[in-house]
Amino acid sequence: AFYCIKEAWADMCANKWGRIVNVTSVAGVMGGYGQSGYGSAKAGLIGLAKCAALEGARFNITANCVLIGVAQTGAYDEAITEEVRKNIERRTAFRRAASPQEIADAIAYIVSEKAGYMTGSIVNLLGGLDLFII
């Protein structure tokens, strides 16, 4: 993410417009047993977006994070058993994973003109996962 932002930064500044969206994980805000490296990296994406938000505001560049808990992906389906999937999804308020379309819709809004005043934010797509004690 850092190198992508670095590569695009000069053009966004010159154009006086830009949108940065870092996609991060629940591990970046809640941690996880045995996930210190992963959780730290995901938390770092949040910090990176907040720094870019402050530095980019004068150039009309916004930077935000999308925080994802459980998402319907091929990797998700292949990595876990049906029993584990049901156990994880049971811990969300909606009792299901986010669809790729729901995630895409949130990102589409963040990069739109309608979200021009939103910067340094963490858009929570955890589906209520963070409302429960796990």
Length of the chain: 134
Domains, the chain, with CATH or none: 2-127 (3.40.50.720)
Residue 134 has pLDDT above 80, yes or no: no
pLDDT in tens, 78-132: 888 899 989 989 999 999 999 999 999 999 999 999 999 999 999 999 999 988 7
Paired strand residues for 65: 22, 122
Residue 28: which of 16, 17, 41 has the closest Cα? 41
User: In what helix (H) or strand (E) does residue 30 lie, and over which residues does it extend?
Assistant: helix 27-30
* Between 85 and 59, the higher pLDDT residue: 59
* pTM given for the model: 0.91
Of these residues, 3, 33, 38, 109, which one is catalytic? 38
pLDDT in tens, 28-57: 999 888 999 999 999 999 999 999 999 999
Note if 76 is an active site residue: no
Q: What 3-state DSSP class applies to 19?
A: strand
